[in-house]
Structure 1
Amino acid sequence: MIVKTLSTFASWHVGLLTLAYGQNAVSWDLGAGFELTGSVRGLQIKDEQQEIWTATLPFVSASAGNDSVVGSSGSLDITKVDDHTCTGQSITSLQNVAWEGSTTRSAVQVSGLLQGCGDYETSYALTFWVPDDLQDRVAFYLDIAGSADTANPLKKLYFRYHSYENEDFYGLGAQASFASLKNQSIPIFSREQGVGRGDGPVTSYGNENGSFSGGNRFTTYTAIPSYISTDGKVVYLSEKSTALAYFDFTDPNAVSIRYDSLSVDGMFMRANNMFDAVEMLTAYTGRMPKLPKWVDSGAILGIQGGQSKVRSIVEEGLSLGCPIAGVWLQDWCGTHSQEGPYINISRLWWNWENDEALYPTWPDFVQDLRDSYNVRTLSYINTFLANVSTKPDGFRRNLYKEASALQYFVQNTTTNSTAIISSGPGLEAGIIDLTNDGLRSWFAEVITTNVWGANISGFMTDFGEYTPVTSDTRLANTVSDAFFFHNQYPTLWAQYQREIVEELELQGEAVLFHRSAAMSSNRYMNLFWAGDQNVDFGVHDGVKSAVTIMAHMGLSGYSQSHSDVGGYYDVLTYEGFNVTRSAELLGRWGEMAAVSSSVFRSHEGNIPSVNAQFYSNSSTYEYYAHNARMFASLAPYRRMILDTECALKGWPLLRHPVMYHTNDVRARQVCYQSFYLGPKLYVAPVLDPQTFELSVYLPGDNTYTHVWTGHIYSGGQDVTVPTPYGKPAVFLVGSASDVPELKTFLDFVKQENMTRALVE
């Protein structure tokens, strides 16, 4: 039989049918009300109500060449290589094929040829079906055969489909620099987000001498291959498709997925609105486990310095009326000094046992904080073990040496030893290999005994984005090479820690917060943290970026998030350019966190001695206490949302305005300027210095009551409101009478309006 192509010949083979050129298109039943239509122009999928997905020729391509990923210590730079890109596509057949896991036990397979791939052509198959466990969407699997050109084999595929100029896109993980992702090409690859990410001149310092530590607008700890559009369309790659991908929205009339392999799978769906879209997405990924209620009651104080200092700061805060839910003591494992410009930097010893100099009676201290003050304790762990041979105050176990001897780390085949990660002078570490069954058992015992054994209530579950991608990387038990495994690791890390929590039956107590995530990590973590921002007001890597990250994460299925109050990264240079935290930034960041976040937690920063701290003096502590009280006053309202809409539907607590106002052009372009906290509060945080009044855009046709003045405004306009310290622009949407859970917040507002203003 001669197979004729749709684009060239007058007829083409369709299963057992022949469709004459120019006749009506042929339709195929995919099941559950979905229909695939093939014509001489391309393909379309519809359900009974609307179009789901459309593609016109050419919609599949491939290319040769190996992408280059270079860098060190998690700072990775990607160079795309696209050689011998195929120039044409034909469709030769559509046919039913047997397919397990579909509603009909069959699928529709589109086959054809890719031409002009260098001097060769190759075949492809694109298969569609409706999953029997998720019958409101259409799954796809695209597979491209290799080429006959052994010198330049095909290495990656391209999958292109219809969009239009007015469709905007959100999600793809922790995107910090963009409102809508329209006009961008977004890489899906987890790595250090960088220091600056385009905020200058700090980025330039980070990228000096060929380094990539400054990052750019696309570098992120958490890149997730899923997006939601203003049309309610949802596209995601499956948990199995973990290679480097680019979601390209630069063509106003198309979306293109560039995937670094010759096969990929995922799903298309369309919801009635963006809320339903999030619910559909999280029906696949899973939803975040509930946060324990103890986090609602106040601040989690980030402190370092040992038992006496911690106790003193807690007692001072309580005397100032600061509600304290817990302390976060990342230095519980000890610190060492690392050389830096002007001043040495304090780094942690990644050896998961308490440091006997700083916390000599660690378990008793943790228990006493809880018994005496009702204050819980969080600690810190990460994916590394560091060599503590030079630790001056000693250690009980050198976990690095134990794991090295057992080959429990990710291995380097060139050196036939641990793949060493260097995080500056004096810090030599290995990454635990979560594919190694022996490691999983051994490390679970370490975590259970050394970490949870002190009756703590959780920890920062750091890193996840550092696994090397070089060809000499070896893993104990995976069919994927290191390049494919890299984007899997954050999910395995979150899953592993959740399994330990469940084994210990600590689900109602434990808080584990991560900055690195991947597809479906959200089903294992009950708190996302926006990572390490600069201690400044920057757009791409300062306080503003934290808001943008939380908004996109919410549309990626991560309903519960927060940031380090005050930021993390200080920058000190020999040239005199310095970035250190001001008291104003700390206070304004605290305001934002109080009215945006699931948890209120502060950080001292990477160089605490140069930063304003909440405990620096009575003024900074009083400002911090005010913000903590504001956070606590929102607890009934926030808990209602967390336990219903977040837990049951996957909807985010912090909501991008576009979710409510899909057709509002201005709402679509909001990055950090404003957001909804649940359905009844609209918030515009103060994110610039010396800003005591704020122009706020109020979208839609709602009524908005400015809580601090009582002034009522109609939607669809810009209004200017006062924003003295301690009073971010917060509006009640509609009436409060139908939300009694807001009473404690409105009582707080009334009480604070009767007291003196914070010192300006």
Structure 2
Amino acid sequence: MQIQTTSTGFDLILDGRPILRHRSEAPCLFVGRGDARMDMYRGNFDIEDYFIERTPLVHAAVSGSEIAFSAAPGQPARLVLQVSGDGRNGALHVRTDDSSINRIWLRVHAEQGEHVWGGGEQMSYFDLRGRRFPLWTSEPGVGRDKTTEITFRADVMGKAGGDYWNTNYPQPTYLSSRRYALHVETTAYSAFDFRRPDFHEIEIWAVPERIELTARPTFIALVEAMAERFGRQPPLPEWVYGGAIIGLKDGAGSFDRLERIVAAGTKVSGLWCEDWVGLRHTSFGARLFWDWKANEDRYPGLRQRIAELEDRGIRFLGYVNPYIAVDGSLFPEAEAAGYFAKDESGKTALVDFGEFDCGVVDFTNPEAASWFAERVIGQNMIDYGLSGWMADFGEYLPIDVKLANGIDARIMHNAWPTLWAEVNARAVESRGKRGEILFFMRAGFTGVQRHCPLLWAGDQSVDFTRHDGLVTVISGALSSGLLGNAYHHSDIGGYTSLFGNVRTPELIMRWAEMGAFTPVMRTHEGNRPRDNLQIDQDPEVLSHFARMTRIYVHLAPYLKSLVAEASSRGLPVQRPLFLHFEDDARTYAVQEAYLYGPDLLVAPVWQAGKAEWSTYLPAGADWIHVWSAQTFAGGQEVTVPAPLGEPPVFYRAGSTFASLFADLRNA
């Protein structure tokens, strides 16, 4: 990186790209203090900051690779940036002796027409330009649109409505269409503000360790660099390619239902039973019993059942989270060893989850983390025969607990998903099953990539809504995929059913159509199974679903090639159009279609009642519509028939997999 001084400031240049542009009349750096109010209610947060100070540091003194900022010439420096790096990779190391500073605002140079992507897993908007995005792991919210009734009612009921920026997986990293990336190395609350035409403002509620900058000549090279920085995931297990993972939570009846689903011609790779640990009954309905061991009253002879399924090529998956119920067998063991986070008085902090209390295992205590990895996941799950699980609730660290490492829980809150992923990964590694066991998470933060083998998109509403329905899964896959998360999937049919909002057959079928063109197909019965249609309750839905699983299995050779590419290069399976067509600027803002690898373009139907669908085909290639075999020139928007069972999918003419794609019509 280069620092070019001017009469009133400096320019910081990375491989020819201006990054910071500081002038005394237009400073790039502000510091100050704030006093934040943070209220948590079951994973949802109400956050408000009272600004005590925000001071522009108008004077910048450059000395070699150091830039010392002060409020005026002659005053002491309040903050120093140490610049390091070469033409492709750089860092701004932050140093200050002013202990009063707990807020920093940095203005990064922006250009007209620039696009920005990333921010972790963003569900509403793929292109972040024009909006502000707080970066704090939380429940994503119900509805996620303040203009809708469902969001209003969720807010009133439990502060659970959410907004466009709420996400289980934030990350203070963005990629620019100017082919550079910026990452803030901090776990504190932060926000990216892309609303101004001439600068992006980075807000951090702490003094960060450093700000990293990466430049590459192409988008592909930039994404590869992100995967190298944050970690590449292990390859998907071989057993996954055998079909869908069927989510059922019907106790022993789950096995009978699975047989009916298989008999309908469904290709099945796994049976996923959240309720393998048993249930407790509350006024809210049946809840899982959070003791993390098999409940053989609900699943008699489960270990034998698991072995029998595996002999047929079907794996068994379960569920776990970082909390332990006070009335379970594991709680006394963990409490006696001092493995739980503490409250103000030094006692075990108890978290109310609605008619039952839990302790949260303190993963900043190395002994506690090792105990959970070995005792809970290793012995109770892997050794029992589980081949995977949902690793839930990584975003739930209460912000008022006391942790073993002495760091404020508000600083550790964003880091918690990564620690949780590391515990799961450690258990898998301890049994030598990396690349064989598949656990999946919705929560994430910087570094989760190197531990978590599969993201899941969280709890979408069971509908077609713009901010919480089927379409949000696409944006989530694309945004997180740019940051090293190669594999992404979702609950087929959605999850959240509230206020009379229930699944329709059309919704399940359209969601299954998209799921066939993702790395993993998995169903979920949702939060209210009895109120919502399930795949095995409607013959037409089940027949359609079975066909989509056959399409998924048919594409296995292609998917395996993408997994190999992810392992060697870090490229995601689901990719934004611009990743392979960066000369076509119209692709930069597309978020409702994606490339499945380099050669398939998928444009899921995400609105109800549609019999045809329009999508943009990138310039630079000819595209063949899978179902009609009609060829379209790229660089135009096309409209094709889209009846149920024929999702809009196109393959690139000349692809080495062209014959495989053409045979989809017969799958």
TM range (shorter): over 0.9
- Structure 1's 124 and 246: CA in aligned 2 closer, same or farther, altered over 3 A? same
Query: What is the CA-CA distance between 1:640 and the residue it aligns to?
Result: 0.2
Instruction: Summarize the alignment of residues 717-732 of structure 1 with structure 2, pairs less than 5 Å apart.
Output: 717-732=636-651
- Can you list the C-alpha shifts for 1:521-578, whole angstroms capped at 9, x where unaligned? 1011111111111111111111111111111111122111101111111103xxxxx1
Task: Pick from 379, 389, 398 the counterpart of residue 449 of structure 1.
Answer: 379
1:483 shift after superposition? 1.3
CA contact (8 A) 2:516 2:551 kept: yes
- In structure 1, the residue matched to 2:19 is 53
Task: Name the SS of the counterpart of 1:306 in structure 2.
Answer: coil
Contact map agreement 2:599 2:651 (CA 8 A) in 1: yes
1:496 corresponding residue in structure 2: 423
Retained in 1: the 8 A contact 2:587–2:618? yes
Q: Secondary structure at the match of 1:508?
A: coil
The reply to whether residue 337 of structure 1 matches residue 281 of structure 2 is yes
- Counterpart in 1 of 2:127? 180
Name the structure 1 match of 2:339.
408
CA distance in 1, matches of 2:142, 2:352: 17
Task: Give the stretch that moved more between structures: 281-290 or 559-568.
Answer: 281-290
Can you give the 5+ residue segments of structure 2 that lack an aligned partner in the other structure?
none
Q: Report what 1:592 is aligned to.
A: 514
Give the number of the structure whose alpha-carbon radius of gyration is greater: 1
Q: Does 1:138 align with 2:90?
A: yes
| Mapped contact 2:20–2:107 kept (Cα < 8 A) | no
One-letter amino acid of the counterpart of residue 136, structure 1: R
The 5 Å alignment of 1:204-223 reads: 204-208=152-156, 211-223=158-170
Amino acid at match of 1:422: D
TM-score, structure 2 as length reference? 0.95
Indicate which of 573, 583, 600 corresponds to 2:505: 583
Give, as a single letter, the amino acid of the residue that structure 2 aligns with 1:374: G
Q: What residue is the counterpart of 1:651 in the other structure?
A: 571
Contact 1:74/1:465 (<8 A) preserved: yes
The letter of the residue matching 1:590 is A
SS across alignment from 1:440? helix
Cα deviation code 1:82-135 (max 9, x no counterpart):
22211342023413xxxxxxxxxxxx111131359xxx975211111128xxx8
- 1:477-516 equivalences in 2 (<5 Å): 478-516=405-443
Gaps of 5+ in 1: 1-33, 96-107, 148-152, 389-396, 573-577, 753-760
Deviations 1:163-183 (A, max 9, x none): 112111001111111131001
The whole-number CA distance in structure 2 between the counterparts of 1:663 and 1:427 is 56
> How many residue pairs get matched?
661
Cα gap change, 1:619 to 1:263, in 2 (>3 Å):
closer
Question: How far apart are 1:421 and its partner, in Å?
Answer: 2.1
Give distance in 2, aligned partners of 1:279 and 1:62: 34
- Which amino acid is the alignment partner of residue 371 of structure 2? W
Whole-angstrom distance in 1 between the partners of 2:406 and 2:568: 35
What are the residue-to-residue correspondences of 1:550-629 with 2, within 5 Å? Answer: 550-572=477-499, 578-595=500-517, 597-629=518-550
Q: 1:76, 1:115 → 2: CA distance?
A: 38
Q: Given that residues 86 and 115 in structure 1 are in contact (C-alpha distance below 8 angstroms), is that contact kept between their aligned partners in structure 2?
A: no
Question: In structure 2, how many angstroms separate the alpha carbons of the residues matched to 1:304 and 1:702?
Answer: 46
Is contact 2:462-2:493 (8 Å) kept?
yes
* Cα RMSD, aligned residues only: 1.9
Q: Residue type matched to 1:140 in 2?
A: L
Amino acid at match of 1:383: P
CA distance in 1, matches of 2:479, 2:155: 26
Q: Distance in 2 between matches of 1:442 and 1:717?
A: 57
Aligned to 1:462: 392
Alignment of 1:159-238 (within 5 A): 159-198=106-145, 200-208=148-156, 211-238=158-185
- Tell me, in whole angstroms, the C-alpha distance in 2 between the residues paired with 1:464 and 1:295: 24
Decide whether aligned partners of structure 1 residues 735 and 263 sit closer, same or farther in structure 2, where only a CA change above 3 A counts: closer
Q: In 2, distance between residues paired with 1:419 and 1:194?
A: 25
Q: Which amino acid aligns with 1:618?
A: P
Letter paired with 1:498: A
Aligned residues of 2:9 and 2:59 also touching (Cα < 8 A)? no
The letter of the residue matching 2:20 is T
1:433 to 342, 347, 362: 362
Query: 84, 89, 96: which one pairs with 1:129?
Result: 84
1:311 matched residue in structure 2: 255
How far apart in 1 are the matches of 2:482 and 2:110? Answer: 19
Distance in 2 (CA, whole Å) between partners of 1:352 and 1:115 is 59
Partners of 2:29 and 2:639 in 1: how far apart? 50
In the TM superposition, what is the alpha-carbon distance from 1:402 to its structure 2 partner? Answer: 2.7
CA distance in 2, matches of 1:705, 1:398: 58
Deviation of 1:667 (Å): 2.2
Picking from 640, 657, 660, the partner of 2:561 is 640
Deviations along 1:373-412, one digit per CA (max 9) or x if unpaired, are: 3211111111111133xxxxxxxx6212332333312211
When residues 417 and 115 of structure 1 are mapped into structure 2, their CA distance, relative to the original with a 3 A threshold, is farther
Aligned residue for 1:36?
3
> Which residue does the alignment assign to 2:191?
246
Matches within 5 A, 1:33-112: 34-46=1-13, 50-51=16-17, 53-57=19-23, 58-95=27-64, 108-112=65-69
Is the CA contact (8 Å cut-off) linking 1:52 and 1:269 kept in structure 2?
A: no
Q: Does 1:385 align with 2:324?
A: yes
Q: Distance in 2 between matches of 1:226 and 1:280?
A: 13
Distance in 2 (CA, whole Å) between partners of 1:720 and 1:570 is 32
Which residue type is aligned with residue 647 of structure 1? S
Aligned residue for 1:731, secondary structure, equals strand
1:699 Cα deviation after fit: 2.4
The more displaced of 517-526 and 660-669 is 660-669
Deviation string 1:429-466 (CA, Å, 9 cap, x unpaired) is 12110012332233222322111122221111111111
